[in-house]
Amino acid sequence: MISELLNMNGYGVYVWSSFIFTLFSFSFLYAVVKLNLIKEKKKFEENYKSLDEKKLASVAKQKNVQRDISKHFHI
């Protein structure tokens, strides 16, 4: 029964190699995206920590304005 599943009437080599290749490709893509996310998070945190109080207040004000606009236009 298991050998029939692995063999798949002679197509098992192609099916399983394709499956392994796809699994490897998706794993590699996931790792690349995760590493880029971590790198961008670090850059964001470095830039955010360097803001002074005046700039932080400006950012908060922009967020409030965006929230008010989205409420007004039902976005």
How confident is the model over 1-32, as pLDDT tens digits? 788 878 888 888 999 999 999 999 999 999 99
Q: Give the sign of the dihedral formed by CA 14, CA 16, CA 21, CA 25.
A: positive
pLDDT score recorded for residue 75:
55
pLDDT score recorded for residue 38:
96
One-letter amino acid at 53 equals E
| pTM exceeds 0.85 for this model | no
CA distance 17 to 6: 11
Give tens-digit pLDDT for 29-54.
999 999 999 999 999 888 877 767 77
Average pLDDT (52-66) is 75
Determine which helix (DSSP H) or strand (DSSP E) holds 33, and give its type and residue range: helix 12-49
